[in-house]
Amino acid sequence: MLRKDKELYTQNGILHMLDRNKRIKPRPERFQNCKDVFDLILTCEERVYDQVVEDLNSREQETCQPVHVINVDIQDNHEEATLGAFLICELCQCIQHTEDMENEIDELLQEFEEKSGRTFLHTVCFY
């Protein structure tokens, strides 16, 4: 990209996003290979949400610990990624401050949908 058109890719934010991504993680990761246990999983694309839910539902349930999977659709461009990051950060902070995530999350998501004008997908899977 640098050799093709550095100015274009700098202006549209692609080089900045790639540089940021390199600092966050050393290489691409596959959720299907991750065996960590989470309380909450957020995705930014419905296709990825579907894959995560499918993978979790295909695993053998061992502990029956719930995991909330939430999708916030974010267009793949610099402006939407920035706005989406702030929205997701605020959502996570609100979830973190709930006293009972299991009973409060639906209402919280509804508030965020109204506030942001976006529709969130949400499902509960079990480990």
Give start-end residues of each CATH 3.40.50.2300 domain in the chain: 35-126
Architecture of domain 35-126: 3-Layer(aba) Sandwich (3.40)
CA angle 87, 123, 41 (to 5 degrees): 50
Condensed to tens digits (0 to 9), the pLDDT of residues 27-64 reads: 888 899 999 999 999 999 999 999 999 999 999 999 99
DSSP annotation of 65 reads -
Residue 1 CB neighbour total at 10 angstroms: 11
pLDDT digits (tens, 9 = 90+) for 61-112: 999 999 999 999 999 887 898 899 999 999 999 999 999 999 999 999 999 9
Question: Structure pTM?
Answer: 0.85
